[in-house]
Amino acid sequence: MKTSSSGLKGMICTSAITVLFAACVAFAAPVGLPPVPVPADNPITPEKVKLGDKLFHDTRFSTTGEVSCATCHDKAKGFADGLPVSEGINKLKGTRNAPTIINAAYLHTQFWDGREPSLESQSAQPFLNPVEMGLKDHEPILKIVRSDPEYSNLFDNAFGKTGNQITMTEVKQALGTFERTLISGNSPFDQYYFKGDKTAMSPAAVRGLEVYVGQGRCVSCHRIEQTQALFTDNRFHMIGVSANQMPKDLDELSAAVQNVKEKGTDIAVLSNPQTSSLGRFAVTEDLTDIGAFKTPTLRNIELTAPYMHDGSHKTLEEVVTFYNNGGRLDEADPVPELLSGGIRPLNLTEAQQADLVAFLKALTSPEFAQK
Amino acid sequence: MSMNRRAFLKTTGAGLMASAFPISLVKLAFGGQDPSRDFTFGYISDAHIQQVKGTQFVRNWDMGLIRAVREANLLTPRPDFFMFGGDLAQLGKKEELDHGLEIMSSLRGKVRYVIGEHDYYLDLGKYWQEKISPLYYSFDHKGVHFVVLNSILTYHKWTYETWSSPMDRMLAMARLDNPQGSPFMVGDQQIAWLKKDLAKINQDTPVVVFSHSPIQKIFKPWNFWTQDAEKVQALLKPFEKATVIYGHVHQIQYNQIGNITFHAVMATAWPWPYPETYSQSASCLPKITVPMNRADPFFERDATGWQFVDMQSGKTAMHYQLPDNRNRTIAFDAATGKPQDVTYQDYSRRIPPQTHY
Amino acid sequence: MRKSKCLFSACLAGLIGLGSLAFSLSSQADDFTEGDLKRWNQEFMSVVMKGEKLFHSGDLGTNKVSCDQCHPNAANTHPETYPKFQQQIGRVITLSEMVNWCIQQPLEGQPLALDDPKMMALLSYITYERRGVPLSPGKH
């Protein structure tokens, strides 16, 4: 039997690593959030942030010259785009809903299926997707950043590199650094739960919190902890969204897998709803991941409708109904057979459901709160 | 890179069809020498379909069996056949057996059944024999001799002369930690039958025995136990390649006793604790077993699952399919002469969830 | 001889007197006997036995599932590790809150009040089956 001292050692080790990362952070974490993890090879500097901001908003990195990261990740829309699925060049539709970038720095993987391990590696993918920016390769980006005099200055300040020294590594690191600064906590919930301000949330939201940690079972995946709340467990779960789009038999599944093998995951999953419905399975090829998607954070969730990986839920009320029915929008729908083990009917009353929605609306950070 | 991804790359490299679905035959580094004798069969066990009332059954156990069947139907290339390892019902009721068989009917492929104590002790196997199959039998497949035993019998007096009603008897046997329990056994009648059955085959024919109880003596308080295990093991001793696959324990276990390899299968319904977690009693879990990850009760399917078994030149490799968890593969290692977990056998590779206390 | 006899009687009387005094003193102080210990233990065990019955009954929830189906002999309940941070609930909790979580989730029932005799019985049985294991609060 393990003794408590080895557990303590483990705890100290984990704390040491967190401190190491935290030491690189130039600013304090907001209320309710831990220090943002920073990779050792890409510390945050104001110069990188400024460069990343410009790259993020530059529409020249697309075939039509009209699409930038900010097109689908718009600050005015909670760094999402308010659409069920995003639209890239020529309004081409993908299959997935744009996740918010706010607090994405805390996620262990990026994209709904976690196919990229970091903000840096994720940032280079949409450029090459035919329904996003549409480029064949990154050369047009490098051409611009190496020749544009404004970029010359910024890259020199940020990385001490000019001309052909500038590679996609620097572009990715700048974008990643900019996104890493998009963190926000300090919502009414944080004030209530971590600061002890009992007036910070409405009575309905307070009741909703009870449901959230009790009968609603939300807390088990959308984590709230003793000293922080990321509202995600960074895991992948099949909760039943788009269950009816999933491959029905071996033939359809083989075709979807074939699609992924031929086009690569990034392009395949955005090109075809059935392939997209594979979720994490397209990355791990593990049967237990079929239809599983990453638990997103719920912070600022009020701002980022519509919901779920395919934007199929228009409102928070719909989302709560879906969970209350155990993974179905309509009680009469069949129960998806491959549901993650955490999803089951909740038997919440109408009042409890309304309170839960009120609580979710208390997760909006003041700097993004809509007046 | 996950085990399955690595495995997939290996198999496509070996020239299998390009559209092969990734969960396929894994040609292990220390696998068989004669690929023509290789085949796979699926194994689903311990569904424990439990009636609440009328047509309402415990949703949790239903979902476990439904998921296993659904995933098994996606396995490609298709396994040659499926086994069901016992405890289809929780209290042996006709309604429970029927509901379980209904879910199993969606499984694509031939299914053979092993009886468990939860199926047997209400009507002593009467409905099972009517609807499903005899309680013990053997069959041959691609050069391997398979035997199905009814290993959950017990003393005559306990079975016939102790209980005032069949349901009382069933409830007594259904309770795992029952102070009024009685040890499982194969019994002399079956031992005699087995002796005759095995006399018909060569000693270099691989033999696989399917039973519900372990054909070992692991933990008596919970009937992880077969009273006449040594007698059965003795009958298997002459065979160069002998394997026993058993259910009942609802956890990963594997062992090697002499020439016989033992593998436990997972339950689709719920996991059981390892015997060492009961502090008031000593346990005897096979030393080489690397335990499954500890169950998180929030995820109903955690520490449950199903499995498929590779026969490679007569030796078995057990592939556990574990929802909400890392899959595990236990394969026979010719170098050590024992089954080994292909990822975690080495102590230095263990992970915290494998600590049970 | 008579003098010693008198002395003896006096001593005896004195002793008896002192003995009565001592007797009346011990009925006020918190003194207990082997008999008391045995009886109090029986009182406790009666509640443990009630808990054992409930634990195996299938009546705590609405779906006939009993605690022992997953926890034979209350194994894997780890009462010695509470209070602890329980990730499914998001905060540090006591054993009774975990019991209630199990009643509500896998057993699909209603939580018990913390002072419900049933809860007391369950806690008694669960901890009794884990007797002798050192405390390890917070251990996952």
Residue A14 reports pLDDT greater than 90: no
pLDDT for the residue B309: 93
Asked if residues B25 and B233 have their Cβ atoms less than 8 Å apart, the reply is no
* Mean pLDDT (whole number) for B62-86: 92
- The CATH superfamily assigned to A46-180 is Cytochrome c-like domain (1.10.760.10)
Q: To the nearest whole percent, how much of chain A has pLDDT over 90?
A: 81
Write down how long chain B is: 357
Residue A3 reports pLDDT greater than 50: no
* Mean pLDDT (whole number) for B212-236: 96
pLDDT for the residue C15: 55
**Dist CA B224 CA B213 (whole Å):** 7
Residue A108 reports pLDDT greater than 80: yes
**Dist CA B323 CA B270 (whole Å):** 12
* Mean pLDDT (whole number) for B52-66: 96
pLDDT class for C30, splitting at 50, 70, 90? confident
Looking at the complex, does the CB of residue A262 fall below 8 Å from at least one CB of chain B? no
pLDDT per position as a tens digit, B247-295: 999 999 999 999 999 999 999 999 999 999 999 998 778 889 999 999 9
E-strand stretches of chain C = 84-86, 91-93
pLDDT per position as a tens digit, C47-76: 999 999 999 999 999 999 999 999 999 999
B23 and A287: CB-CB below 8 Å?
yes
Looking at the complex, does the CB of residue A246 fall below 8 Å from at least one CB of chain C? no
Looking at the complex, does the CB of residue C90 fall below 8 Å from at least one CB of chain B? no
B280 and C129: CB-CB below 8 Å?
yes
B19 and A257: CB-CB below 8 Å?
yes
Looking at the complex, does the CB of residue C133 fall below 8 Å from at least one CB of chain B? yes
Of C73, C101, C102, the CB nearest to B278: C73
Of A254, A284, A340, the CB nearest to B2: A284
Contacts of C89 in chain A (CB under 8 A): 213, 219-220
Of A7, A213, A224, the CB nearest to C139: A7
pLDDT for the residue B29: 33
Q: Which residue has the higher pLDDT, A16 or C112?
A: C112
Q: CA dist A252 to A140, A171, A247, B342, Å?
A: 37, 39, 5, 31
* Mean pLDDT (whole number) for A322-351: 92
pLDDT class for C7, splitting at 50, 70, 90? low
Q: Which residue has the higher pLDDT, C25 or B14?
A: C25
**Mean pLDDT across chain B, nearest whole number?**
89
pLDDT class for A368, splitting at 50, 70, 90? confident
pLDDT for the residue B26: 34
Q: CA dist B115 to A291, B150, B173, Å?
A: 34, 6, 14
pLDDT for the residue B11: 37
B357 and A1: CB-CB below 8 Å?
yes
C54 within domain boundaries: yes
For residue A76, the distance in angstroms to the closest alpha carbon of chain C comes to 32
Largest Cα–Cα distance of chain C, in whole Å? Answer: 87
Residue B27 reports pLDDT greater than 80: no
Domain over A188-239+295-368 is classified CATH 1.10.760.10: yes
> How high is the ipTM of this complex?
0.88
Residue B14 reports pLDDT greater than 80: no
Three-state DSSP class for B257? strand
For residue B227, the distance in angstroms to the closest alpha carbon of chain A comes to 30
DSSP string, A12-77: HHHHHHHHHHHHT-SSPPPTT-PPPP--TTS---HHHHHHHHHHHT-GGGSTTS---HHHHSBGGG
pLDDT for the residue B123: 97
pLDDT class for C88, splitting at 50, 70, 90? confident
Contacts of C104 in chain A (CB under 8 A): 214-215
Q: What letter does residue A321 receive in the DSSP assignment?
A: H
Looking at the complex, does the CB of residue C140 fall below 8 Å from at least one CB of chain A? yes
Contacts of C56 in chain B (CB under 8 A): 175
Contacts of B300 in chain C (CB under 8 A): 106
A341 and B299: CB-CB below 8 Å?
yes
Q: Which of A112-121, A295-304, B313-322, C4-13 has the lowest mean pLDDT?
A: C4-13
Contacts of A220 in chain B (CB under 8 A): 298
Three-state DSSP class for A220? helix
pLDDT for the residue A8: 53
Q: Which of A35-49, A233-247, B32-46 has the lowest mean pLDDT?
A: B32-46
Contacts of B19 in chain A (CB under 8 A): 254, 257-258
**Dist CA C74 CA A277 (whole Å):** 41
Contacts of B75 in chain A (CB under 8 A): 287
Looking at the complex, does the CB of residue C62 fall below 8 Å from at least one CB of chain A? no
Partner B, chain A 196-225, Cβ-Cβ below 8 Å: 217, 220
Dihedral of CA atoms B233, B239, B245, B249 in degrees, nearest 10, equals 20
- Ordered by start, the domain boundaries in chain A are 46-180, 188-239+295-368, 247-290
A293 strand-pairing partners: A237
Q: CA dist A325 to A148, A295, A316, A355, B191, Å?
A: 55, 19, 14, 17, 52
To test the contact with chain A by mutation, choose from B74, B78, B270, B357 the residue with the greatest count of A C-beta atoms within 10 A, namely B74
Neighbouring chains of B at 3+ CB pairs within 8 Å?
A: A, C
Of B4, B76, B324, the CB nearest to A340: B324
**Tally of structural domains, chain C:** 1
pLDDT per position as a tens digit, A249-285: 888 888 898 999 999 999 999 999 999 999 999 999 8
pTM for the structure as a whole = 0.87
CB pairs under 8 A between A and B: 75
Q: CA dist B112 to B71, B202, C86, C99, Å?
A: 18, 24, 42, 39
**Dist CA B274 CA B286 (whole Å):** 11
C89 and A2: CB-CB below 8 Å?
no
pLDDT class for B77, splitting at 50, 70, 90? confident
- Enumerate the H helices of A215-305 as residue ranges: 250-263, 265-271, 273-276, 281-284
CA-nearest of A2, A214, A39 to A121 is A39
Looking at the complex, does the CB of residue A2 fall below 8 Å from at least one CB of chain C? yes
Looking at the complex, does the CB of residue B130 fall below 8 Å from at least one CB of chain C? no
Residue B22 reports pLDDT greater than 50: no
Write down how long chain C is: 140
**Mean pLDDT across chain A, nearest whole number?**
91
For residue C117, the enclosing domain spans 39-133
To test the contact with chain B by mutation, choose from A8, A287, A290 the residue with the greatest count of B C-beta atoms within 10 A, namely A287
**Dist CA C32 CA C29 (whole Å):** 9
Residue B148 has, within 13 A of its CA and on its CB side, a CA count of 19
For residue C108, the distance in angstroms to the closest alpha carbon of chain A comes to 10
| CA C140 to centroid of chain Cα atoms | 24
pLDDT for the residue B139: 97
To test the contact with chain A by mutation, choose from C78, C86, C139 the residue with the greatest count of A C-beta atoms within 10 A, namely C139
Q: What letter does residue B49 receive in the DSSP assignment?
A: B
Largest Cα–Cα distance of chain B, in whole Å? Answer: 63
* Mean pLDDT (whole number) for A102-121: 97
Asked if residues B261 and B337 have their Cβ atoms less than 8 Å apart, the reply is no
Looking at the complex, does the CB of residue B50 fall below 8 Å from at least one CB of chain C? yes
Tell me which H or E stretch contains B260.
strand B260-264
pLDDT for the residue A244: 85
User: Which chain A residue's Cα is nearest to B65?
Assistant: A337
C63 and B279: CB-CB below 8 Å?
no
Looking at the complex, does the CB of residue A217 fall below 8 Å from at least one CB of chain C? yes
Looking at the complex, does the CB of residue A28 fall below 8 Å from at least one CB of chain B? no
Of B59, B270, B279, the CB nearest to C133: B279
Three-state DSSP class for A313? strand
User: Which chain C residue's Cα is nearest to A233?
Assistant: C87
Q: CA dist B351 to A14, B292, B346, C25, Å?
A: 15, 10, 11, 61
For residue C63, the domain's CATH number is 1.10.760.10
C33 within domain boundaries: no
**Using CA of residue A321, residue A326, residue A329, residue A332, what is the dihedral sign?**
negative
Contacts of residue B69, Cβ cutoff 8 Å, sequence gap at least 6: B44, B103, B104, B106, B107
Q: Which residue has the higher pLDDT, B75 or A170?
A: A170
Domains delineated in chain B: 36-354 (3.60.21.10)
Contacts of residue C115, Cβ cutoff 8 Å, sequence gap at least 6: none
Looking at the complex, does the CB of residue B278 fall below 8 Å from at least one CB of chain C? yes
Looking at the complex, does the CB of residue A337 fall below 8 Å from at least one CB of chain B? yes
Three-state DSSP class for B33? coil
C3 within domain boundaries: no
Residue B19 reports pLDDT greater than 60: no
* Residue whose structure tokens are 């308080």: B221
C79 within domain boundaries: yes
Q: CA dist A26 to A29, A43, A46, Å?
A: 10, 9, 9
pLDDT per position as a tens digit, B171-217: 999 999 998 889 999 999 999 999 999 999 999 999 999 999 999 99
B327 and A288: CB-CB below 8 Å?
yes
State both tokens at A88. Answer: 């890239």
CA-nearest of B272, B213, B284 to B246 is B213
To test the contact with chain C by mutation, choose from B180, B277, B324 the residue with the greatest count of C C-beta atoms within 10 A, namely B277
State both tokens at A158. Answer: 């940020």
B300 and A257: CB-CB below 8 Å?
no
Of A1, A250, A335, the CB nearest to B76: A250
